[in-house]
Amino acid sequence: MISYACPFPENFVWGVATAAPQIEGAAFEDGKGESIWDRYTRIPGKVLKGDTLDVACDHYHKFNEDFALMRRLGVKSYRLSLAWPRIFPQGDGSVNQAGLDFYHRLFDAMAENDITPWVTLFHWDLPQALEDRGGWTSRVTVDAFAKYADTVVKAFGGKVKNWITLNEIRCFTVLAYKNGGPKAPGRTESDAVVNQTYHHALLCHGHGVRAVREFGGRGARVGLTDNCDVCIPVSETPRDIAAARQWFTERNLHILGAIYGGGYSPAYLERVGADAPKTEAGDFKLISMPTDFLGLNIYTATHVRAGAAGGYEVVTLPVNYPRADSVWLNLVPQCMYWATRMVRDVYGASSIYVTENGCGYDEEPVIGGEVNDLHRREYLRAHLRELHRAVADGVPIHGYFLWSFMDNYEWEDGYTRRFGVVHCDFATQVRTPKLSALWYAKVMEANRIL
Ligand code: PNW
């Protein structure tokens, strides 16, 4: 039995994460094109309080200050994303040099502060011009993404070695094209169309991998960040574990199942029937290109147990079950153990990074220059303990990125819901490290849970 007090493996990567649209602001500066989120936030009723991404954390102008703060906290690895519409304002067509210049300045500032970038190519901010041509329902987006990926990997390959193709396919496909939202563009489409959006996303992932292999240079590594549907067995008995594994496999057939399986499985095709996505020859050669790691965003999980008559049963949570202020964020620390173990067991994932984990709360005031977020510290500690348990059980977990470095634009929840370990006062743009940041700084330094 390895104790929680034991260190994580040597060279374990500790970091923090953000995404361009959530922090940069400068939504229409230096030639940046409109994104689907710039458009969506202006539709009344879509976003809490009608908050927009126009200014966000103004990181576009304050990145030097932000990197200096990261350095003070001992952050050595930072996951960020590039804004596609900053680089191709129309999605494809001509490149906006000012957009490339901005990220060159950003990576240079990171290097000066001894911070290693982990770069996500796409974190939901599709250029609106591409949405106008069909968005994720159209193969036009796949071609445009291929060109975008080639361009940025060529441009930044000298400065960036860790690449992530896409962030959370579900969030810009089914959560954006099926029921009018909650994610942009908020369309309402048939199952067949939604299945097609998944397929196009998988193709873009493949193009991201291909671009890094072709243009990434020496030492470049690439993987997907997925928010696979995660469950935990209610009791850790062989029966409940088998039930959880069955649930997990079924729920992730269309993304991880397709990537690791080299195609759509008979089980998937049977499930979707006539709504199966249209594919072309060669698609899965691209989609299933080997990657260097799998990124997982893990926040919560569903409770599953063996059914009385075989199979599995989903356990309905009691109304008093604890959760964060985000309604979906039930507190289930074992999600860290079971998500990582399942992707190892089911797909044979051999290098796993937790690319996001954290919790969102609404009221976190600065009092006397401090933010007391003991609730977040307890969340993180509990989740890291379960991650440590997986490491101790031999699951190949090589890093952890906390979501998020600072409070930022939480999509349809606007600026109300705070996920940062650094507080951001959106009126003054003053940053204040919360208690959780001070604690996490020590964890990163000690390489163990404190
Ligand atoms: C992730 N769910 O989204 C995103 O990658 C981040 O941009 C976001 O800010 C963060 O988590 C916090 O929400 C998720 O419904 C959205 O389970 C929804 C879910 C999970 C993650």
pLDDT tens digits, residue range 253-286?
Answer: 999 999 999 999 999 999 999 999 999 999 999 9
Q: What is the mean pLDDT of residues 300-307?
A: 98
Q: What is the mean pLDDT of residues 198-214?
A: 99
CA distances from 168 to 146, 183, 248, 297 (A): 18, 12, 16, 8
Q: What confidence tens digit (pLDDT) does each residue in 317-365 have?
A: 999 999 999 999 999 999 999 999 999 999 999 999 999 999 999 999 9
Residue 306 has pLDDT above 80, yes or no: yes
Q: Is 299 in the pocket of ligand 1 (CB under 6 A)?
A: yes
Q: What is Dmax (Cα atoms) for the chain?
A: 62
E-strand stretches of 187-301: 221-226, 231-233, 293-297
Q: What is the mean pLDDT of residues 107-123?
A: 99
- ipTM score for this prediction: 0.90
Residue 298 has pLDDT above 80, yes or no: yes
- Domains along the chain with CATH numbers: 13-446 (3.20.20.80)
> Where does the pLDDT of residue 57 fall: very low under 50, low under 70, confident under 90, or very high at 90 and above?
very high
Q: How far is the C-alpha of 83 from the C-alpha of 124, rounded, in Å?
A: 9
DSSP state of 11: T
User: How would you classify the pairing of strands 293-297 and 231-233?
Assistant: unpaired
Residue 150 has pLDDT above 80, yes or no: yes
Q: What is the mean pLDDT of residues 233-238?
A: 98
Q: Is 297 in the pocket of ligand 1 (CB under 6 A)?
A: yes
Q: How far is the C-alpha of 442 from the C-alpha of 301, rounded, in Å?
A: 28
Q: How far is the CA of 381 from the centre of ligand 1 (A)?
A: 20
Burial zone of 205 (CB within 10 Å; 0-12 exposed, 13-18 middle, 19+ buried): buried
> Where does the pLDDT of residue 444 fall: very low under 50, low under 70, confident under 90, or very high at 90 and above?
very high
Q: How far is the C-alpha of 213 from the C-alpha of 217, rounded, in Å?
A: 8
Q: What is the mean pLDDT of residues 295-301?
A: 98
Q: How far is the CA of 171 from the centre of ligand 1 (A)?
A: 8
Residue 217 has pLDDT above 90, yes or no: yes
Percent of the chain exceeding pLDDT 90 equals 99
Q: Is 419 in the pocket of ligand 1 (CB under 6 A)?
A: yes
Q: From the centroid of its chain, how far is CA 229?
A: 13
Question: Is 22 a known ligand-binding residue?
Answer: yes
CA distances from 429 to 30, 235, 351, 412 (A): 21, 46, 37, 21
Most ligand 1 atoms within 8 A of CB, residue of 16, 168, 331 to mutate: 168
pLDDT at 1: 62
Q: Is 67 in the pocket of ligand 1 (CB under 6 A)?
A: no
Give the position of tokens 């007391």: 372
Percent of the chain exceeding pLDDT 70 equals 100
> Where does the pLDDT of residue 5 fall: very low under 50, low under 70, confident under 90, or very high at 90 and above?
confident
Whether the Cβ atoms of residue 88 and residue 148 lie closer than 8 Å to each other: yes
pLDDT at 300: 98
Average pLDDT in the chain: 98
- Phi/psi for 104 (5° steps) reads -60, -45
* Position 325, amino acid: D
Give the position of tokens 């049977």: 270
Question: Is 177 a known ligand-binding residue?
Answer: no
> Where does the pLDDT of residue 3 fall: very low under 50, low under 70, confident under 90, or very high at 90 and above?
confident
Q: What is the mean pLDDT of residues 371-400?
A: 98
Could you confirm whether 356 is annotated as catalytic? yes
Whether the Cβ atoms of residue 299 and residue 329 lie closer than 8 Å to each other: yes
What's the pTM value of the predicted model, to 2 decimals? Answer: 0.98
* Position 272, amino acid: V
- Crossing angle of helices 97-112 and 139-156, rounded to 10°: 50
Whether the Cβ atoms of residue 110 and residue 117 lie closer than 8 Å to each other: yes
Q: How far is the C-alpha of 188 from the C-alpha of 88, rounded, in Å?
A: 27
- Phi/psi for 287 (5° steps) reads -60, -35
Q: From the centroid of its chain, how far is CA 206?
A: 17
3-class state of residue 348 by DSSP: coil
3-class state of residue 19 by DSSP: coil
DSSP state of 123: S
Question: Is 403 a known ligand-binding residue?
Answer: yes
